[in-house]
Structure 1
Amino acid sequence: MKKIHIFSLGGTIAYMGDTDKPIVTGEDLVQGLPEISNIANVITTSFRQIASSSLSIDDIVELSREIVSAIDSGVDGIVITQGTDTIEETAYLLDLLIEPKVPIVVTGAMRNPNLRGADGPANLLASILVAASGVTKGIGVVVVFNDEIHCSRFVRKAHTQNVAAFQSECGPIGWIAEGIPYLAMRPNNELNRSFKIETEEVPIALYTVSLGDDGRLLTKTKDLGFKGIVIEGLGGGHVPTSMVETLADLAQEIPVILASRTGSGEVLTQTYRGYPGSETSLLSKGLISSGWLDGRKSRVLLSLLLMSGKTHQEIFEYYKHLSKPIL
């Protein structure tokens, strides 16, 4: 049988509520699924035992190193369990850091083990099935939830409570039926994963533009020590006229990434012209388009680029590469 290494980070899947042991270990999670013994030989590591809202980029960088070590030792697949609040970010971060030599799956739960219909055991079992089957080998990190397989580059948490909370703009890339994982499409593996982390996590601001916004908070960005900023613009990448010069000045000093707050579609590049605050005016003033990448994942990517010592031009070129189709 395949050897699968499970890294547990805590979260709802392991949360026992107001008890003497509020968060259980990865070994405890596995012991609740005796049928695993017929699927794979499982190794568990309790990497963190905290809520995912308290995880940091540094935590996930450290986790990526442990995963690489496990892969080098000969395991056939990796499963990570964690809280759902930041799964979309940690899964994408791991995808950027780890060459997909074996299947890597991230999962969790929307209902803790004390609630009726707890989904953690089913999600963990499905994730082990996907990792052991090898169907996702070579395509990068995936998120398995509610018997669906999602590409980490597109998945997002879209509901606060529903067990089907995880959705992707292009839909799931596969599913599990009668205990067998299937893929409907295979994302390509043309990500540039040449990150050589040189520093600890750097502060990156994420700013969502709204109706009537005058951008006064942006004037304090650099003074507060932020090394970059991601702007979630209106619609296809637009901001109020009053914000344009502030963003233009910031873009001369730190990387300013332009994303959309909509959560779907690409940032426009040449549709609206002739007025301050359009995507064409912002890009002409030095802002960098995030392409199809949403604001949260743009922040993850910018963090890694800056932690790797990339120059402003290298950051621009990386984001430019993202405009290429990936499916």
Structure 2
Amino acid sequence: MPEPSSTPARRVVVFGLGGTIAMTSTAGGGVVPALSADQLVDAVPGLADTGITVEVEDFRRVPGASLAFDDLAALAAAIQARLVAGADGVVITQGTDTIEETAYLLDLTHHRPEPVVVTGAMRNPTLAGADGPGNLLAAVQTAASPDTRELGAVVVFADEIHAAARVRKTHSTSGYTFVSANGGPLGYVVEGHARVLNHPTGRTTITTAAEPRPVEVALVTMVLGDTGTLLRAAADQCDGLVVAAFGVGHVPHRVVDTLTELAAAMPVVLASRTGAGSVLAHTYAFPGSESDLLGRGLISAGFLDPLKARILLHHLLSGGHDQADIRAAFAQAGGYTRPDQQTDHADTVMQTVQGATRA
């Protein structure tokens, strides 16, 4: 008989938050999140054969759309406690509606090397071809892999591994809804193993305030013929604003004065509504162009899409950071300042985790 392995089993903690992956039918029709995290894990074929020790925490049972910042703060603290206690990685199962936002918030606040893996399902367990068990198995295998350390939070879906800062939900029903338009997936789960093919050059993490303050950050998308009605409505209701602008960072000339006033009163971040690519800085020069708006005090989101930009701005404002801090954080997180160019001022705001480099 073969000698038993002296290598201890990898230990992964699964946090269940609800969502489609945990939904079952109701008597009146439709599905609701009702399955426990234990039930989800028990229903995964082949998980017991991986040799990975899986612990379970039934954390929430809500739709993804109902998750809030308080839920994520509590989750981040619970993750930290489990990792300090020796877990090799964690998996979060939740609704896909907000995965691209929750994963990025967890990434911003995760300073340790162990992987934090977020997954879910597009087809609930009552449907033929439910994708939850396969996604959960791949997520656990990714969380247990030594090769995914130092990547921060990632989203694992349809056997693809995506960086939290890049991933977006792009289809309302497809099982292949999650994509990373800027850079592609980090790797894939192949025959039960996480295969990481590329690493980010770095990622931005920001220390969480001991007592975060409640803030309101709005996201307003520019549309054809926009006259600024929604922007003006945000003036007295918000602590910060993200503008999802046309193309490389353009808005109608009619809203320029409104944005100028808003930028003088609160942080206003300029992002692109396109879903890929970066806001530019100095290519166009007409009123409402990117160079015009940045000159009026708006802050570039760089490569961050509007949803990620809102998460970053919310986290910074809730931590009490000022305009200078916010500009420094966006310059780095948006891809316009390399980690080795970080200023002393920026270093007081954030910590940067360098990505490993492979030939």
TM class, shorter-length = over 0.9
AA of the residue aligned to 1:166: F
Q: Is the 8 A contact 1:126 1:144 kept in 2?
A: yes
Q: 1:325 to 1:183 in 2, by over 3 A?
A: farther
Aligned to 2:59: 47
CA RMSD of aligned residues (A): 1.6
AA of the residue aligned to 1:141: A
AA of the residue aligned to 1:91: A
Aligned to 1:173: 186
TM-score normalized with structure 2 length: 0.87
**CA distance in 2 between partners of 1:283 and 1:196 (Å):** 28
Aligned to 2:162: 150
**What's the secondary structure of 2:46's corresponding residue?**
helix
Asked if 1:58 is matched to 2:73, the reply is no
Between 185-194 and 97-106, report the one with greater CA deviation. 185-194
Once the 2 structures are TM-superposed, how far is the Cα of residue 22 of structure 1 from its aligned partner? 4.7
Which whole-Å deviations, capped at 9, do the CAs of 1:278-306 have from their partners, x for residues lacking one? 11110011100001001001000000000
Q: 1:299 to 1:46 in 2, by over 3 A?
A: same
Q: 1:200 to 1:38 in 2, by over 3 A?
A: farther
Aligned to 1:276: 287
Superposition pairs for residues 285-304 of structure 1, below 5 Å? Answer: 285-304=296-315
Asked if 1:187 is matched to 2:200, the reply is yes
Q: 1:190 to 1:163 in 2, by over 3 A?
A: closer
**CA distance in 2 between partners of 1:305 and 1:196 (Å):** 9
Asked if 1:10 is matched to 2:18, the reply is yes
**CA distance in 1 between partners of 2:90 and 2:202 (Å):** 18
Aligned to 1:107: 119
TM-score normalized with structure 1 length: 0.96
Aligned to 2:132: 120
Aligned to 2:46: 35
Q: Is the 8 A contact 2:90 2:116 kept in 1?
A: yes
Q: Is the 8 A contact 1:204 1:229 kept in 2?
A: yes
**CA distance in 1 between partners of 2:190 and 2:203 (Å):** 29
Q: 1:149 to 1:325 in 2, by over 3 A?
A: farther
**What's the secondary structure of 1:144's corresponding residue?**
strand
AA of the residue aligned to 2:18: G
**CA distance in 1 between partners of 2:337 and 2:262 (Å):** 27
Between 84-93 and 33-42, report the one with greater CA deviation. 33-42
Q: Is the 8 A contact 1:100 1:141 kept in 2?
A: no
AA of the residue aligned to 1:314: D
Which whole-Å deviations, capped at 9, do the CAs of 1:144-164 have from their partners, x for residues lacking one? 000111111110000011110
**CA distance in 2 between partners of 1:63 and 1:45 (Å):** 11
Aligned to 2:4: none
Structure 1 consecutive aligned stretches of length 4 or more whose deviation exceeds 6 Å:
none
**CA distance in 2 between partners of 1:96 and 1:315 (Å):** 14
| Contiguous gaps of at least 5 residues in structure 2 | 1-8, 340-354
AA of the residue aligned to 1:304: H
Once the 2 structures are TM-superposed, how far is the Cα of residue 139 of structure 1 from its aligned partner? 1.3
Once the 2 structures are TM-superposed, how far is the Cα of residue 190 of structure 1 from its aligned partner? 4.0
Once the 2 structures are TM-superposed, how far is the Cα of residue 259 of structure 1 from its aligned partner? 0.2
Superposition pairs for residues 260-275 of structure 1, below 5 Å? Answer: 260-273=272-285, 275=286
Asked if 1:312 is matched to 2:312, the reply is no
Q: Is the 8 A contact 1:201 1:303 kept in 2?
A: no
**What's the secondary structure of 1:135's corresponding residue?**
helix
Which of 22, 34, 38 is residue 23 of structure 1 equivalent to? Answer: 34
Q: Is the 8 A contact 2:20 2:33 kept in 1?
A: no
Once the 2 structures are TM-superposed, how far is the Cα of residue 196 of structure 1 from its aligned partner? 1.8
AA of the residue aligned to 2:207: S
**What's the secondary structure of 1:9's corresponding residue?**
strand
Aligned to 1:255: 267
**CA distance in 2 between partners of 1:265 and 1:325 (Å):** 17
Asked if 1:196 is matched to 2:209, the reply is yes
Asked if 1:321 is matched to 2:332, the reply is yes
| Contiguous gaps of at least 5 residues in structure 1 | none
Once the 2 structures are TM-superposed, how far is the Cα of residue 313 of structure 1 from its aligned partner? 1.3
Q: Is the 8 A contact 1:79 1:131 kept in 2?
A: yes
